[in-house]
Amino acid sequence: MTDAPETFEFDAEGRKRAEAEIAKYPEGAQRSAVMPLLDIAQRQCGGWLPMPAIEYVSEYLEMPAIRVLEVASFYTMYNLKPIGKHFVQVCTNLPCWLNGSDNIMKACQDKLGVRSGETTEDGEFTLLEVECLGACVNAPMMQINDDYYEDLDSGGTAAILDELRAGKTPKTGSQLARFTCEPLGELTSLTHQEDLRAQKTAGKVNS
């Protein structure tokens, strides 16, 4: 966990990315870039937005701080409080819930010893119950930092958390023998495009 800094300023990389975002909008509409800039700031701050960062973004875009704070507080993907090194977000919306997201949530709670919205004492994990993350096809799922872990069960979830605590990199995506979001087992349709899988694996086509 990061303590609240006294001041905030984009680093060289952040500034470069911020300028690129602002350049997407016409002159005078630079405040349209507020959301990507907040994301850049959040990444630089270790996953959350301290007040100096919000004020910095407001000055950067020449807009009132309250307007930036409104955006930052409206969207759930901005964190206004510090989070752990691993930000575990478990989807509990309908498809995941039907597929047992309650078990996933329970596994996380048992493993980490915290409830939703809390951070472990060592600052390693923050657990949060979230709304749909758009991976219903492989429900249930959770997101940890920028990675999705899909087709989960209790044991697998605990194993992923263990690996993360041990500093290892668990397998992302589906935890079953499933290629991205294709059916388990043989393809039932679009079989003539079987070679797409090979191309994707080779990185020739965006997955």
Partner 1 sequence: MPKLTIDGNEVEVDAGLTVLQACEQIGIEIPRFCYHERLSIAGNCRMCLVALERAPKPVASCAMPVGEGMVIHTNTPEVHKMRKGVMEFLLINHPLDCPICDQGGECDLQDQAMGYGLDHSRYKENKRAVEDKEMGPLIETVMTRCIHCTRCVRFTTEIAGITDMGMLGRGEHAEITSYLEKAVDSELSGNVIDLCPVGALTSKPYAFVARPWELKKTETVDVMDAVGSNIRVDARGSEVMRVLPRLNEDVNEEWISDKTRFACDGLRRQRLDRPYIRENGKLVPASWDDAFALIESKVDGLDGSKIAAIAGDQADSEAMVSLKALMINLGSANIDCRQDGSQIDPSTRAAYIFNSEIAGIEQADALLIVGSNPRLEAAIINARIRKRFMAGKFPIGVIGEAADLRYDYEHLGTCPADLKAVLDAKSAFGKILKDATRPMIIIGQGALAREDGAAIQALTHQIAEAYGVVDTNKGWNGYNVLHTAASRVAGLDIGFVPGEGGLATHDIVAAAGNGDVEVVYLLGADEIDTQALGNAFVVYQGHHGDNGAHRADVILPGAAYTEKNATWVNTEGRVQLGRLAAFPPGDAREDWTIIRALSDVLGKSIPCNDLRGVRSMLVNANTNFMNIDIAVDAKWGSFGVAGDVTDAPFTSPIDNFYMTDPISRASETMAKCTETFLEAQEKATGTHG
Smaller CB separation from partner 1, 72 or 152? 72
Residue with tokens 């390693």: 124
CB of 15 to partner 1, least distance (A): 25
Residue with tokens 């919306």: 93
Encoded one letter per residue, x for contact with partner 1 by CB under 8 A and - for no contact, window 97-136 reads ----------------------------------------
Residue 143's beta-bridge partner residues?
A: 89, 148
Smaller CB separation from partner 1, 55 or 118? 55
Helices (H), the chain: 12-22, 34-44, 51-60, 65-74, 94-98, 101-112, 154-165, 195-201
CB of 81 to partner 1, least distance (A): 13
CB of 75 to partner 1, least distance (A): 8
For partner 1, which stretch binds (CB under 8 A), given 35-43, 60-68, 86-94, 152-160?
A: 60-68
Residue with tokens 């039907």: 98
Non-local (6+) Cβ contacts of 144 within 8 A are: 86, 87, 88, 89, 160, 164
Residue 127's beta-bridge partner residues?
A: 88
Residues from 62 through 81 that contact partner 1 (CB under 8 A): 64-67, 69-70, 73-75
Rounded distance between C-alpha atoms, residue 121 and residue 119, angstroms: 6
Number of residues that bind partner 1 (CB under 8 A): 10
Interface with partner 1 by CB under 8 A: which residues? 51, 64-67, 69-70, 73-75
